[in-house]
Amino acid sequence: MLGLLQNRAYKRAITGRLNGTTPGVVVPDGGKTERVFNRAMFAAMGKLAKLDGRVTTGEVKYASTIMQLLGLDPLQRQEAIDYFDLGKQSDTDISIFVRDLVSCIGRRSALAYLYLKIQIRLAYVKGDIRLKEKLLLRDIGEQLGFNKAEFLEICSEMQCHVDRKQMRARGFLENAYQILQLEPDVEDGEIRRAYLRLMSRYHPDKLVRENLSEESLKLAQEKSTAIRTAYETVCGFRKIRA
């Protein structure tokens, strides 16, 4: 009980940062609670990321985002990276870390819910949650006091979030091809040629010599910016140099 009463200002601060209600609040020193929370957070993330044998750039980026949300300083970030690497080791039992976490933040608390939600969201970074990941997350959820129905509800929420994000990404990519006046199955070499052709037509530096109106030059600037953005989007999707 004493552990639950300690470091309440820290718990309020990171709860507000993680749920988005007070993203810019200063995080006070959390003492033992902060150390236990960070260890449980990033060791579990390392374990989840490594379950399929490979850690992706997306998973590392997501972990880095959580470090920023928690307001970690450089030393704490390095400790978080060390915890992540510890979790990746096959013989690391993260249930011990989660048990210590529960003693500090309590079962079914707002912070426990956010912790579980963050871990589940990580599992979807690769596109879909796998059986091994779901089993591990289910065990974590039970330790935190959440039943199967509650766990599945969070999973469903995260899946909807991923589906919406993928739909937006597909729509953005389709629009990029349209701006470049290209079909999605075009060869890589045609992408830069289309970009250069369109930029030669709409770049304001060229149009200014044609004594166009200020409004026309502004539209040309917007068009050239859209062309550049579309080009970078397609190159990024295909993993080719822009």
Q: How many domains does the chain have?
A: 2
- pTM for this predicted structure: 0.70
175/173 Cα distance (integer angstroms): 5
For residue range 181-227, list pLDDT tens digits in order. Answer: 999 888 998 999 999 999 888 776 666 566 666 777 777 788 888 89
pLDDT > 90 fraction of the chain, expressed in percent and rounded: 61
Handedness of CA 162, 45, 132, 103 (dihedral sign): negative
**Mean pLDDT taken over the chain:** 89
DSSP 89-130: STT--HHHHHHHHHHHH-TT-HHHHHHHHHHHHHHTTTSS--
Q: What is the pLDDT of residue 204?
A: 66
Q: What's the confidence (pLDDT) of residue 169? A: 66
Q: Which residues of the chain have pLDDT under 70?
A: 1-6, 163-169, 204-213
Q: Which pLDDT score is estimated for 2? A: 47
Sign of the alpha-carbon torsion through 81, 153, 146, 6: positive
> How far is 50 from 90, CA to CA, in rounded Å?
9
- For residues 10 and 85, state if they share a domain: yes
Report if residue 225 sits inside a domain.
yes
Does residue 176 sit in the same domain as residue 131?
Answer: no
Same domain flag for 138 and 173: no
| Residues sharing a CB contact under 8 Å with residue 158, sequence separation 6 or more, in sequence order | 117, 120, 121, 123, 124, 129
